[in-house]
Structure 1
């Protein structure tokens, strides 16, 4: 601690914290920051009963100065320059309600006067200096090359999914399902136990997909973006289907193949490391795409729909389960936290855009089900598991990577709860063949 810090140490609304409060207000575009800020000198400012956001070093302010928006704050959190020592959901919910965070789309840039105020604060707090290097977890390599080329898509998927199977097992649990679960009407049971209903909710989701697809013994099924093989194993074991699962992640494929072998299902489950665009052994009786089309990108979505149409037999069904952008025509900033740290080149499109692309590919829409509240519950359960296994998660993936996943899952839960994002299952069929059931009761 330098002499200036020593002279201003304390817990009242003085010292560095009061100036930090003004600086954060400038970045957020609000005069009322709904957080209790704690500075590196021990001083505090802000509402007494608000969630605490702790600035652990001057570098946090410097990151805000060089990237005055979501990205600078996110980099500071991943690097450990900022922390939320209490309930992370309360802190992020408060932050998401403030100023620019409450507005959809990219952060509005600072005006010249706002930038000058931020610079003056940084000077007074001794935080001026060169731009700090981004944390190593930022996906710089995965964002090189032509967007959505096979090579760049493979690098982007590897960045996200090849973190380590053991790390994901800590977060996801034995189901190893990395998409929205389907919860009972009462939601998640209270308490913080090791399951808390997540595993049964994931099994319910897998079974719902099988029923919507009308799976029968001997059917040939393609699982696009198969992950660690959970849907493929469920469809083969419970419904007698023969499943081909494709993924771009080698680590996922290795574990999925082992799980199939351990379950005695290698005669009915084949796992390939393959781009869906290279699958050419149709026709399939049914196709599942669960949490995969977010990686496709808006311009490529019509071609994605057309490719899957071509792989289905007449009368065959496709279930597309995907996150959607619900906050109007403005899409999220491609240079914000999630594209840079979590899903390089990922892109959420609206439900309307997805349905339009499927219909343009000549699919017939059979059913649309919105599951937005279910994903908020799922993400909260994943965060609980990560926090309960924090020391092991850090050992497996490093503290920076663990902080990325905690930030992304907690912030995403708030986004679903606020209605900025949704998740939808769209069930379609290729015309021809046998008629579908007259009522949805066949799969409810």
Structure 2
């Protein structure tokens, strides 16, 4: 199997009908491809088997998580160069390993299979989701999905997120730190909600308690935070006790659908709605509308995707579903806005923060890479690789405008009545850069 890289590069270019965007290094140490380009390393023929047997994104991810596929050089550049093969294919560019199934290219496909070897790929890595039970977005299955993603250890998340323990898009000013940007994001949410002393705030998907702490400490709000993650709740309660705010904040391990103690003056939902799913989104909007007092405000902070001609085909990303957020779904921004309006909300403001999330993710990746050995000890080599790839690939997706993130400010406006917002609806940004 001498010079496997050249053979693979030639076959790949034949199947793709064009040059490779990266350099290849094969399991035999050989290299081929454009000089000076970042290097994609196939450490074992098993990586090739995985990609042939499971064409597209999932086969590549399995090889990456197993450590059979790696990168030398800038990971972001590699992902950017490969995006056309993995995510942004058109009808004439089906991708390397999907093209290997094309009957018009049988000879090249057979050669690729011989190069991979006749043995089927090994089982998927242990980090891949298994054993999901029940219908999608039932209470039981949602608990399983949340546990898979969040109950991997609070120390690991602190390593990645930093002291803020905020796991959503920060709000950046030039030259700012991650901590400053996350504080500014929490304050932006509080100001949009017009929080005041004594207001009741429901924080849906409260995470490790950062929004609840900010609202109680800085604005005097009384907060109920709900999460399905027991590890998050334990951490949040500890932080609240350390700040002496147990009289103002209650953290519950509870499904948002089971909250019955409204009305609330305001609701924050930051990075939670992605878990709700299309089949439950109207129910989500209805529940939150019902929990608000007349004139109450909802701040819904949510990742979106670009609209596609075939909506159903693009609802779930295979990598994200199998390794990161099981059953997570992204909707186009317009669909979210329409559903909120259908539930009775008056949507008064939408702010797009796409570039802010790319910056946030790059900082999280830097945190992970800077303390890589400890991260591996805290979780596993495979899980650490999942998080590195997921966050870096997400950063590239935000930068390429494949996905976005938006804050919707919606009001349960009385009928007849006024929204209670200032005439200049961006008043919450006054005095900021």
TM range, normalised to the smaller chain? over 0.9
Q: Deviations over 1:162-193 (max 9, x none)?
A: 11100000000000000000001x3xx4xxxx
- Structure 1 equivalent of residue 329 of structure 2: 347
1:78-117 matches, within 5 Å, as: 78-96=65-83, 98-103=84-89, 109=98, 110-114=101-105, 117=108
- Measured in 1, the distance between the counterparts of 2:152 and 2:11 equals 35
- Structure 1 equivalent of residue 111 of structure 2: 120
Q: Could you tell me whether the CA contact under 8 Å between 1:33 and 1:46 is conserved in 2? A: yes
Q: Deviations over 1:364-422 (max 9, x none)?
A: 01100000000000000000000001000000001000000000000000000000000
Deviation at 1:100, TM superposition (A): 5.0
Deviation at 1:148, TM superposition (A): 0.5
SS at match of 1:440: coil
Deviation at 1:122, TM superposition (A): 2.5
Deviation at 1:136, TM superposition (A): 0.6
Report the number of matched residues.
419
Normalization by structure 2: what TM-score? 0.93
**Structure 2 residue 153 is the aligned partner of structure 1 residue 164:** yes
Q: Could you tell me whether the CA contact under 8 Å between 1:327 and 1:419 is conserved in 2? A: no
Match of 1:406 among 388, 398, 402: 388
Match of 1:151 among 120, 140, 155: 140
Match of 2:164 among 162, 170, 175: 175
- Structure 2 equivalent of residue 192 of structure 1: none
SS at match of 1:102: coil
Q: Deviations over 1:6-46 (max 9, x none)?
A: xx2xxxxxx1002222455577x452210010011111111
Deviation at 1:357, TM superposition (A): 0.4
**Structure 2 residue 430 is the aligned partner of structure 1 residue 431:** no
- Structure 2 equivalent of residue 390 of structure 1: 372
Q: Deviations over 1:109-128 (max 9, x none)?
A: 542344663342231x2522
- Structure 2 equivalent of residue 227 of structure 1: 207
- Measured in 2, the distance between the counterparts of 1:152 and 1:254 equals 21
**Structure 2 residue 272 is the aligned partner of structure 1 residue 289:** no
1:229-244 matches, within 5 Å, as: 229-244=209-224
Deviation at 1:103, TM superposition (A): 3.0
- Measured in 1, the distance between the counterparts of 2:368 and 2:169 equals 17
Deviation at 1:303, TM superposition (A): 1.0
Q: Could you tell me whether the CA contact under 8 Å between 1:181 and 1:205 is conserved in 2? A: yes
Q: Could you tell me whether the CA contact under 8 Å between 1:295 and 1:346 is conserved in 2? A: yes
Q: Could you tell me whether the CA contact under 8 Å between 1:228 and 1:252 is conserved in 2? A: yes
- Measured in 2, the distance between the counterparts of 1:26 and 1:302 equals 47
Q: Could you tell me whether the CA contact under 8 Å between 1:208 and 1:443 is conserved in 2? A: yes
The Cα RMSD (Å) is 1.9
**Structure 2 residue 241 is the aligned partner of structure 1 residue 261:** yes
- Measured in 2, the distance between the counterparts of 1:104 and 1:371 equals 27
**Structure 2 residue 198 is the aligned partner of structure 1 residue 218:** yes
- Measured in 2, the distance between the counterparts of 1:250 and 1:348 equals 25
Normalization by structure 1: what TM-score? 0.90
Q: Provide structure 2 residue ranges, at least 5 long, that are not aligned to the other structure.
A: none
